[in-house]
């Protein structure tokens, strides 16, 4: 019988991740013949255990949080059984590792260094911004502000994507944008589960967004690296922009995100037009946040 009892141990981070990932695998995905009606979505615990080469009892203890020191070999075997990609494997090791739990810290006030704000200001032809661990937008240049001008919530990528009505019009592939941002937040949660700002954001989104609750339960894990995104801007129309994300070595919890359009493309023309619409003296940044005023 494959049921998850309602007990505190079942709510451990490792168990939640394993249950979510096995629920998304079909028997045929892993070479198991499908036969008869199945009582659970995805794979059964005993099927994952067999694929990983461990006993069903041991795998059950992993999901229930009763096995707290799985070896590297066991985790690698479970990762293969669940068909995890590299980022999901890294997340598995983070949530399974021994952790000295600390008292949850008060939310940190993330600061963007003055030299980083000056660097953003020099990129007049490309939207660029700095993100904190919870995907808060800590600073951005004028073109990034113009790109996001239609949003009411413009302080955090999750709040923009999932709580702001403008997102459904701005992101031409909203589903993909939502999945990507939630997966990035899940990665941050695995790196620092004691981050009070992150917990605060998860709580807010869980209360206000049914879409977030569904995506969060999927336990997808993905960092922001590079990707092409499709936008619709009210003033300049459709844009296809490619972004690259860089870790800020002087502030390792922060990421610099830079968008660019393919040279000579209609998106490049639209981005240049957007830049011309905001041409003028560069405003001073807010000294507390580093975000340029409109």
Question: Are residues 70 and 150 both part of a single domain?
Answer: no
pLDDT in tens, 75-95: 888 888 899 888 888 888 888
Q: Which pLDDT does position 89 carry in this prediction?
A: 87
What average pLDDT score do residues 200-209 get?
93
> How many domains in the chain?
2
**Count of residues making up the chain:** 294
Question: Are residues 140 and 201 both part of a single domain?
Answer: yes
What average pLDDT score do residues 232-258 get?
93
Residue 138: name the closest of 108, 171, 165 by CA: 108
Q: Please state, in angstroms and rounded to a whole number, the distance separating the CA atoms of residues 217 and 86.
A: 20
Q: Which pLDDT does position 4 carry in this prediction?
A: 40
255: confidence class by pLDDT, cuts 50, 70, 90: very high
Is the pLDDT reported for residue 167 higher than 60?
yes
Asked if residue 162 is part of any domain, the answer here is yes
Question: Are residues 165 and 232 both part of a single domain?
Answer: yes
Q: What percent of the chain is predicted at pLDDT more than 90?
A: 43
Asked if residue 132 is part of any domain, the answer here is yes
What average pLDDT score do residues 175-203 get?
90
CATH number at residue 271: 3.30.450.180
Is the pLDDT reported for residue 105 higher than 60?
no
Question: Are residues 88 and 122 both part of a single domain?
Answer: no
CATH number at residue 26: 1.10.260.40
Question: Are residues 192 and 240 both part of a single domain?
Answer: yes
Question: Are residues 236 and 124 both part of a single domain?
Answer: yes
Question: Are residues 261 and 123 both part of a single domain?
Answer: yes
What average pLDDT score do residues 85-106 get?
72
Asked if residue 1 is part of any domain, the answer here is no
Asked if residue 198 is part of any domain, the answer here is yes
Asked if residue 3 is part of any domain, the answer here is no
Q: What percent of the chain is predicted at pLDDT more than 70?
A: 86
Question: Are residues 142 and 252 both part of a single domain?
Answer: yes
Q: Please state, in angstroms and rounded to a whole number, the distance separating the CA atoms of residues 37 and 35.
A: 7
3-state secondary structure of 199: helix
- The helix or strand, by DSSP H or E, that contains position 45, with its residue range, turns out to be helix 45-52
pTM: 0.75
Domain that holds residue 78: 8-96
Q: DSSP of 274-286, one letter per residue? A: HHHHT-SPPPPBP
Question: Are residues 119 and 256 both part of a single domain?
Answer: yes
Question: Are residues 132 and 262 both part of a single domain?
Answer: yes
Q: How many helices (H) and strands (E) does the chain have?
A: 13, 5
Asked if residue 106 is part of any domain, the answer here is no
Asked if residue 67 is part of any domain, the answer here is yes
Question: Are residues 89 and 121 both part of a single domain?
Answer: no
Question: Are residues 55 and 193 both part of a single domain?
Answer: no
| Average pLDDT value for the chain | 84
């Amino acid at each position: 019988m494959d049921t998850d009892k309602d007990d505190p141990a079942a709510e451990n981070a490792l168990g939640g991740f394993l249950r979510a990932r096995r629920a998304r695998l079909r028997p045929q995905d892993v070479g198991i013949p499908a036969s008869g009606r199945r009582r659970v979505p995805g794979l059964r615990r005993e099927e994952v255990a067999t694929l990983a080469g461990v006993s069903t009892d041991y795998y059950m203890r992993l999901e229930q949080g009763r096995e707290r020191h799985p070896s590297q070999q066991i985790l690698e075997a479970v990762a293969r059984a669940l068909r995890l990609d590299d980022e999901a494997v890294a997340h598995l090791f983070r949530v399974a590792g021994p952790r000295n739990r600390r008292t949850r810290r008060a939310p940190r006030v993330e600061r963007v260094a003055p030299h980083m704000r000056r660097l953003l200001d020099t990129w007049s032809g490309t939207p660029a911004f700095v993100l904190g661990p919870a995907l808060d937008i800590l600073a951005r240049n004028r073109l990034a502000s113009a790109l996001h001008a239609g949003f009411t919530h413009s302080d955090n990528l999750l709040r923009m994507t999932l709580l702001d009505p403008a997102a459904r019009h701005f992101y031409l592939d909203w589903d993909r944008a939502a999945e990507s941002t939630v997966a990035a937040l899940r990665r941050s949660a695995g790196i620092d589960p004691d981050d009070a700002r992150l917990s605060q954001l998860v709580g807010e989104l869980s209360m206000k967004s049914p879409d977030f609750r569904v995506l969060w339960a999927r336990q997808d894990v993905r960092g922001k690296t590079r990707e092409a995104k499709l936008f619709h801007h009210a003033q300049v129309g459709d844009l296809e922009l490619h972004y690259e994300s860089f870790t800020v070595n002087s502030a390792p919890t922060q990421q610099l995100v830079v968008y660019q359009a393919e040279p000579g493309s209609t998106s490049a023309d639209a981005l240049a037009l957007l830049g011309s619409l905001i041409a003028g003296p560069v405003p001073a940044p807010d000294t507390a946040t580093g975000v340029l005023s409109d």
